[in-house]
Amino acid sequence: MRFVSRTAAALGALVALAVPAWALVHIDIDLSTQSMRVAADSGERYEWPISSGRVGHRTPRGVFRPIALYPMVHSAKYDNAPMPHSIFFLSQYAIHGTEAVGSLGRPASHGCIRLAPSNAAALYGLVRRQSAVIRISGEPGARASFASRPRAREWPALSFAPHSRARSLRQWAVDPLGMR
């Protein structure tokens, strides 16, 4: 009897040592404010502006787990657009970095959650090391967005001249010198 209890205790200790500590990253996305709050069990805490799905491209709501992580992906559906530090959570939906940082704080994507590139890299690193739970709630346009918060300095409306739009390759092929 003693031998059995000692063996069971030894096996229990061995199993306890073999199970790694489980840390988790809690990602809470509020579509109403176009913001993301990140809280890692390891202590890191962040709040970042996001862009979610614009009209006609709804971002799914619910609780998700990451299903795939990629340091760089290019969208096959949207003109090979770069999606750095992608964390896929539902089929074709991901949290990823964007070059369109001027759109952060308001709905602008095709359904994914967009972040500034440095924020996406930080989140990717956390999730890769610790796993995550992703909660998406709210409704775009329900409250003031992250972008509408007061900034340190507001520029006058006419302080910048609009940029002229670059011609497309098709336009150039029709009129290479831009005479029309």
CATH of residue 56's domain is 2.40.440.10
pLDDT at residue 126, rounded to an integer: 94
pLDDT at residue 114, rounded to an integer: 96
Q: Identify whether 157 is part of a domain.
A: no
Mean pLDDT by 10 residues, the chain (180 residues): 59 50 87 96 94 93 96 84 93 93 94 96 94 94 55 41 55 66
Q: Identify whether 66 is part of a domain.
A: yes
- Grouping H, G, I as helix, E, B as strand and the rest as coil, residue 37 is strand
E strand residue ranges, the chain:
25-30, 35-40, 45-49, 62-64, 68-74, 82-90, 93-97, 113-115, 132-137
- Residue 118: domain span: 20-144
**Total domains present in the chain:** 1
pLDDT at residue 134, rounded to an integer: 97
Cβ–Cβ < 8 Å for 49, 147: yes
Q: Identify whether 125 is part of a domain.
A: yes
Q: Identify whether 152 is part of a domain.
A: no
Q: Identify whether 76 is part of a domain.
A: yes
pLDDT at residue 18, rounded to an integer: 45
- pTM, entire model: 0.68
pLDDT at residue 159, rounded to an integer: 39
Cβ–Cβ < 8 Å for 115, 134: no
Q: Identify whether 43 is part of a domain.
A: yes
Q: Identify whether 140 is part of a domain.
A: yes
Give exposure, 89-121, as e/b (b: 16+ Cβ within 10 Å).
bbeebbbbbbeebebbbbbbbbbbbbbbbebbe
Q: Identify whether 126 is part of a domain.
A: yes
pLDDT at residue 67, rounded to an integer: 95
